[in-house]
Chain A
Amino acid sequence: MKPLLLLILSFLPLAADARWAASYEKAFVQAKEQEKSVLVMLSQDNCKACWYMENIVFEDEVLIEKIEKEYVMLYLDVHDDDIHGLDYSGTPTLYFLSSDDKVLKRLNGVYNIKELTAAMLKIEKPEKKKELK
């Protein structure tokens, strides 16, 4: 009974971690299906600011809820992953891309929760009229 419970318990958090899309292609497929845009985070090792974005900002439930309404989230390591020609001068760099791969907005460097929330308000929605909440 107990080992079984442990097994299942160790199994659930794995299944629950669906925040980041599995690949560049899949992110856009998903974005098209759900009529969303794609939020790309470019990251790398040895980057404290990236750590902060990943583990604090993109773990903030309230912010995540807002993001997931409009974006499919995609995490790319600039060294390990194919970043499909996205330009960057450093990391973290955030890209907001429409589902047909147009750059809606690029943000350089670290943003805390409040700053990112504010910056996102400024992004023009690709199809719908922009509405400030």
Chain B
Amino acid sequence: MKKIIALLLLTLSLIAGTKFLMPEEAFMPSAQLINGESIDASMKLGDKIYIYKEQFKFTLKGDSTLKIADATVKNVAEDHEGEMVYLDDVEATITFSKEDGSAANETVTLVMHYQGCSEAGLCYEPSTKEFVFDITTASLPTTSAMSNDITKDTALVEEGSANDQFGASETDEIVEALKGGSILTILAVFFGIGVVLSLTPCIFPMIPILSSIIVSQGEDISAKRGFMLSLVYVVAMAFAYSIAGVLAGIFGENLQVLLQNPYAIGGFALVFIALALSMFGFYEIGLPASWQSKLSSASDSASSKGGFVGVAVMGFLSALIVGPCVAPGLAGALIYIGQTGNAALGGAALFVMSIGMGLPLLLIGAGAGKFMPRPGGWMDTLTHVFGAVMLAIAIWMLSRILPDTATMLLWAVFFMFSAVYMGALEPLEVGKRSWNALVKAMGVLFMIYGALLFSGALSGSTSMFTPLDQFTDKGTAVVQGTVATQTSATQFKIIHSGAELDAILEANKDKTVMLDFAAEWCSSCKEMEHITFADVGVKAKMGEFILVQADVTDNTDEERALTKRFGLFGPPGILFFKDAKEIKNARIIGYQPPEKFLAHLNKL
């Protein structure tokens, strides 16, 4: 039986794989000359083919004196799941304008641009078709009399609007955010990391070096020269780090491969733990003392030469001295860069990071050595915080190879230990309230959260955000491994065909119907079911809807037809209906957390 089903599925998928039209069957463009002066263009579309309104446009090729005056599309574009498209054969009329110098007959090459897709789930290449016509110019208007030509207007239409075709889907937003500002964001984050690193004692060895250069320049050195000197110093240091970044970018794939290997992950985690412990002051990591002194004397001799070159050399060497101290931050950065595999980005990121690190040095330079940050306990505190972050990264790395419960236990331990270090269990000293109280309060929160995670982990929960789900109703109501529709929590009417849906829509015209496409093999459907639909607030709100679930687990012909009817390619997908019609722009594709989903329901 199973074999038969499998065979059936394979045949189905084969059919699905081969039934797409060839581009020349999908799009059949044509054009004809009308009265010798305008062109009627048409685009015949194959079965289930549509084209994008914004990609359908006309331009002229070559250097004709004629311009397109107007290209009017007769069809009205329709909203097709958030995209304006033409679903039927498209017809357009193109008119021209001339210049004073135009001949009585001008040959033009009209280019029709188009891009479209098959509803069956294939998008074709943007394509063009050229037509050559002789245009009689006698009765054409002149270009100067016209405003801007239409091609410019249409060409201005931004590309990529297809990306928001499903509205605010969660992944979409993340992807967009990354795509949109990715490089800037990455650089900004690295700069931030650099600034934070600059507040650790790591930067200390550099301060006397830099001060000594500036002082050696004489008593009355100007703030400008002081700044320039420190700028050269910092840029040289940044250059040294950039080399590391470029190398990480080039050899990145090895890092990436490594990161999938349990032993390597374990190893990395150990390195991070070792670094963390050093930040807690258990021991110091650094170059051997003999190397350090050699480097120091080398940079001293460079400084005696004075001038910018000397400063640059020293900046470069300083990076080597300080490197091991900022290693934890550096290691994290390098691993990230390795994953991008982008040498240029790697170099840029580390450059920006070291400029951030050098920021205080620049300030010192500008003050010509007059201002120095006063070292104190806060610097140690910051180092300790870094240590804690290192530990967090270690746990995060281990989470890839450890069972979820074990990871959660580690987090619990992490939060509880941090809480103790933050003084959550110690009395506040009278008269030293403000900051200490804040830290202690956070410590107490950490302690409580850690304890909750601890009990959650011991009870078998794996969720960092709902560690107590094993103790609450919804947790026990969840049926493992199935699309848990039979729970008392949310009662969906299960359907498998369009006819069943139509009957329900017909019978509930006055109510809002929510149609959820789900299948057992769809992970995000399960997430939606177990987390979002199980939320108390969402559950209450969902009570106001007629709840229908299209269970397409078996992928039968009828189930496929139902999915395709709404232009979906498969689950997940949530659609809303009123008066037996789908509410426009209301569908949800992909997982949505409870708060967001509830907000969406409230808007309907």
Tell me the interface secondary structure of chain A in the complex.
helix
Interface size on B, residues (CB 8 A): 75
Q: Digit string of A100-127 for contact with B (CB within 8 Å is 1, else 0)?
A: 0000000111111111011101100000
- B139 touches A (CB below 8 Å): no
Residues B309-359 near A (CB distance < 8 A): 332, 335-336, 339-342
Determine whether the beta carbon of B122 is less than 8 Å from that of A110.
yes
Contact pick for A91, options B120, B122, B165, B252, CB 8 Å: B122
Residues A11 and B81 in contact in the complex (CB < 8 Å), given A22-B340, A22-B342, A109-B16: no
Q: Give the CA-CA distance A7 to B257 in the complex, in Å.
A: 25
Of B159, B160, B555, the most chain A CB neighbours within 10 A belong to B555
- B107 touches A (CB below 8 Å): no
Determine whether the beta carbon of B570 is less than 8 Å from that of A113.
yes
Task: List chain B residues, Cβ under 8 A from A91.
Answer: 122-125
Determine whether the beta carbon of A90 is less than 8 Å from that of B17.
no
Determine whether the beta carbon of A109 is less than 8 Å from that of B118.
yes
Determine whether the beta carbon of A90 is less than 8 Å from that of B118.
yes
Stretch at the interface among B148-156, B505-513, B517-525: B517-525
Task: List chain A residues, Cβ under 8 A from B120.
Answer: 109-110
Contact pick for B385, options A4, A18, A59, CB 8 Å: A4
Q: Digit string of B565-600 for contact with A (CB within 8 Å is 1, else 0)?
A: 001011110000000000000000110000000000
Q: Give the CA-CA distance A17 to B185 in the complex, in Å.
A: 15
Task: List chain A residues, Cβ under 8 A from B339.
Answer: 15, 17-18, 22
Q: Give the CA-CA distance A7 to B193 in the complex, in Å.
A: 7
- B451 touches A (CB below 8 Å): no
Q: Give the CA-CA distance A45 to B162 in the complex, in Å.
A: 7
Determine whether the beta carbon of A113 is less than 8 Å from that of B192.
no
Of B6, B125, B186, B260, the most chain A CB neighbours within 10 A belong to B125
Residues A78 and B125 in contact in the complex (CB < 8 Å), given A34-B257, A51-B166, A118-B9: yes
Residues A46 and B125 in contact in the complex (CB < 8 Å), given A51-B163, A109-B16: no
- B488 touches A (CB below 8 Å): no
Q: Give the CA-CA distance A44 to B256 in the complex, in Å.
A: 26
Q: Digit string of B258-275 for contact with A (CB within 8 Å is 1, else 0)?
A: 011000000000000000
Determine whether the beta carbon of A29 is less than 8 Å from that of B124.
no
Residues A59 and B22 in contact in the complex (CB < 8 Å), given A23-B341, A30-B253, A47-B117: no
Task: List chain B residues, Cβ under 8 A from A118.
Answer: 6, 9-10, 13
Residues A90 and B336 in contact in the complex (CB < 8 Å), given A14-B186, A30-B253, A30-B256: no
Q: Give the CA-CA distance A44 to B55 in the complex, in Å.
A: 14
Determine whether the beta carbon of A90 is less than 8 Å from that of B20.
yes
- A56 touches B (CB below 8 Å): yes
- A131 touches B (CB below 8 Å): no
List the interface of chain B (C-beta within 8 A of A): 6, 9-10, 12-13, 16-18, 20, 22-23, 52, 55, 81, 83, 115, 117-118, 120-126, 159-160, 162-163, 165-166, 169, 171-172, 174-175, 178, 185-186, 189, 192-193, 196, 252-253, 256-257, 259-260, 332, 335-336, 339-342, 385, 389, 392-393, 396, 442, 519, 521-524, 555, 567, 569-572, 589-590
Q: Give the CA-CA distance A116 to B571 in the complex, in Å.
A: 13
Distance between B554 CB and nearest chain A CB, rounded to angstroms: 9
Q: Which 3 A-B pairs have the closest CB atoms?
A: A112-B570, A110-B121, A22-B341
Task: List chain A residues, Cβ under 8 A from B341.
Answer: 22-23, 26
Determine whether the beta carbon of A49 is less than 8 Å from that of B590.
no
Task: List chain B residues, Cβ under 8 A from A121.
Answer: 6, 10
Contact pick for A11, options B122, B174, B332, CB 8 Å: B332
Q: Digit string of A56-87 for contact with B (CB within 8 Å is 1, else 0)?
A: 11011111000000000000001000000000
Of all chain B residues, the one with the shortest Cβ separation from A10 is B189
Contact pick for B123, options A30, A49, A55, A111, CB 8 Å: A49
Q: Give the CA-CA distance A12 to B193 in the complex, in Å.
A: 13
Determine whether the beta carbon of A113 is less than 8 Å from that of B521.
yes
Task: List chain B residues, Cβ under 8 A from A117.
Answer: 521
Contact pick for A47, options B162, B252, B385, CB 8 Å: B162
